[in-house]
Amino acid sequence: MNILATDDTAKAVDVSVSDMSLKVSLDDGREISVPLDWFPRLRDATPSQRANWRLIGTGEGMHWPDVDEDISVAGLLRGRMSGRSKTRAA
């Protein structure tokens, strides 16, 4: 038995992005909060760009068209951060 198994059936219902974190509310009542540094495109985006998101796949993920960022709920539940560089552009 894998005690670290995750439930990949959870769906996002709401999203909020601050200067420090990404918070995703799930349909089962859980809330995932991760550091914004995990997603450099969102970290470096303007507040307006961060606020322009939509659910994709009936809540399986989120998309930010202004910065071309897609994040899946399953990836967040697994602790998967973006594969992009974590350093800020100079």
Each domain of the chain, given as residue ranges in start order, spans 12-77
Please give the Cα distance from 18 to 36 (Å, whole number).
8
Question: Domain 12-77 is in which class?
Answer: alpha beta
In this prediction, residue 53 carries a pLDDT of 98
CA 88, CA 85: separation in Å to the nearest integer? 8
Q: pLDDT for 49-61, tens place per residue?
A: 999 999 999 999 9
Examine the pLDDT at 67 and tell me if it is beyond 70: yes
Report yes or no on whether pTM surpasses 0.85. Answer: no
**With bands split at pLDDT 50, 70 and 90, how would you rate the model's confidence at 35?**
very high
- By percentage, how much of the chain surpasses pLDDT 90? 78
Torsion angle of the four alpha carbons 12, 18, 19, 23, in this order, in degrees rounded to the nearest 10? -30
Alpha helices in the chain (DSSP H): 40-43, 47-51, 73-77
The reported pLDDT for the residue numbered 81 is 86
